Amino acid sequence: MSQAYTTVLCIAGSDGSGGAGIQADLKTFTALNCYGLSVITAITAQNTLGVTGVYTLDEKCISAQFRAIADDISIDAVKIGMLGSSSIIKTVAALLRELPDKAPVILDTPLGSSGGRALLPPKSIALLKSELFPLATMITPNLPESAIICGMKRPPATKEEIEVVAGKLLETGVPSVLIKGGHGEGEECRECLLYEKEFFWFSSKKIVTQNTHGTGCTLSSAIAAYMARGESIPQAVEKAKAYTFEALQKGADYRLGHGSGPLHHAFRCWQ
């Protein structure tokens, strides 16, 4: 008797340099024993030095990609990354409502590249909150993104401030919130999960490396993969953080390009 794949669908932008976006998502799914499916929302021109161009795809193209997959293949989890425009947000929200089964949806919120280029117009943030947050199982903003979404002047810095922001985000209708801590000060990288009115904190030592391109994409993709495999939300976050930490650690030994290199997603299968 044939065995079914555990599948994860990523809806996101393409990063030709392979460190983030769809490419990082698919590598992560494979590394974590899942079969990756993809719907591309935008094509970026980028390398390890930064993003030089963003080209969003037509909504008909996005819908056609999604329906071709959903009409044929069972989807065990969904990860959403870069969307790029208000019209794409509306399109993706409508498509998610077409799924027959309630697969977990992990919504990452990349509002801009690490080099400062906008990946979603500021005017679209309110629509992101109203259209997609209620359809998501979890949102995964980093510290600066959490502040922007909540209309704050600066990112939360202390444990108390981060928990307050997580509470505000939970009020938007999403069942769980993970605030990623990679942009925080100090020697520890601390993630805050708010789920079922309980806070969970996950901590690891920061790795000294310039190869951090795609860290946020990788963490959210790993959470989606573990949830597709049946892990609870806290367990999925814990295991995803461990995988991302090790991928950062192993990637520190490699060199790609002249800027911020990628994580080593395939460290478990390379000799």
Q: Which residues are catalytic?
A: 180, 212, 214-217
Question: Do 45 and 57 form a contact (C-beta atoms < 8 A)?
Answer: no
The pair of structure tokens assigned to 183 is 């942009």
The pair of structure tokens assigned to 202 is 């996950």
Question: Do 120 and 110 form a contact (C-beta atoms < 8 A)?
Answer: yes
How many alpha carbons fall within 13 Å on the CB side of residue 180? 27
Q: Is 143 helix (H, G, I), strand (E, B) or coil?
A: helix
